[in-house]
Amino acid sequence: MKFLEQNIPGLVLVESKVAVDVRGDFVKTYHEVMWRDAGLAFELKEEFYSTSRAGVIRGMHFQVPPAEHAKVVTCLSGAVMDVVVDLRVGSPTFGQSRTFELTAVNRNVLFIPAGLAHGFIARTEGSLIHYKTSSVHSPEHDRGIRWNSFGLDWGEAAPLVSARDAAFPGLAEFRSPFVYETQG
């Protein structure tokens, strides 16, 4: 596994270990010791998946304290443009977004620390996204920012967005409870 730190502090793209032979392939996406040695503390509390039609945007989601969580996201089938926005007050990248192509072919895994909003747009029909989170879903702490409020070109003229996601406040209206803490 390779751990590639990104320009948003704490955000890490993980290149999975892949073994291929005549039977097919075997992909390792998580190894506790390797992740810990890479500085990624993650304790699994809940996991789930979603399937989406091409052109669907899901996001931008997060949970606020005290139920905030880190996420580990993988595309198991199809392809998505995965998106994160830094919501941590005091972060050198506060309000900035970053995108990643997560596909069943590249097998990359994204580690998203608490304090970042997360979403994606499905690029292919039936895109299957698998999520692991470090806390369980808490409806009273579940929040989001509107998908089109932070200047990202999603590459889709008429995306399919849920009423809930369309009703989230814009980034400029959101008062973040997240505070950036430097490591060290």
- Contact between 120 and 82 under an 8 Å Cβ cutoff? The reply is yes
pLDDT of residue 182: 80
pLDDT of residue 183: 62
Q: How does pLDDT run across 98-140, given as a tens digit for each residue?
A: 999 999 999 999 999 999 999 999 999 999 999 999 999 999 9
pLDDT of residue 119: 98
- Contact between 49 and 131 under an 8 Å Cβ cutoff? The reply is yes
Taking the model in full, what pTM does it have?
0.95
* Average pLDDT for 171-184: 90
As annotated, the active-site residues are 61, 131
Q: How does pLDDT run across 47-85, given as a tens digit for each residue?
A: 999 999 999 999 999 999 999 999 999 999 999 999 999
* Average pLDDT for 174-183: 91
* Sequence ranges of the domains in the chain: 2-173
CATH number of 2-173: 2.60.120.10
pLDDT of residue 184: 54
Give the β-pairing of 160-161 and 56-63: parallel
Q: How does pLDDT run across 154-169, given as a tens digit for each residue?
A: 999 999 999 999 999 9
- Of residues 183 and 152, more confidently modeled: 152
Share the mean pLDDT of the chain.
96
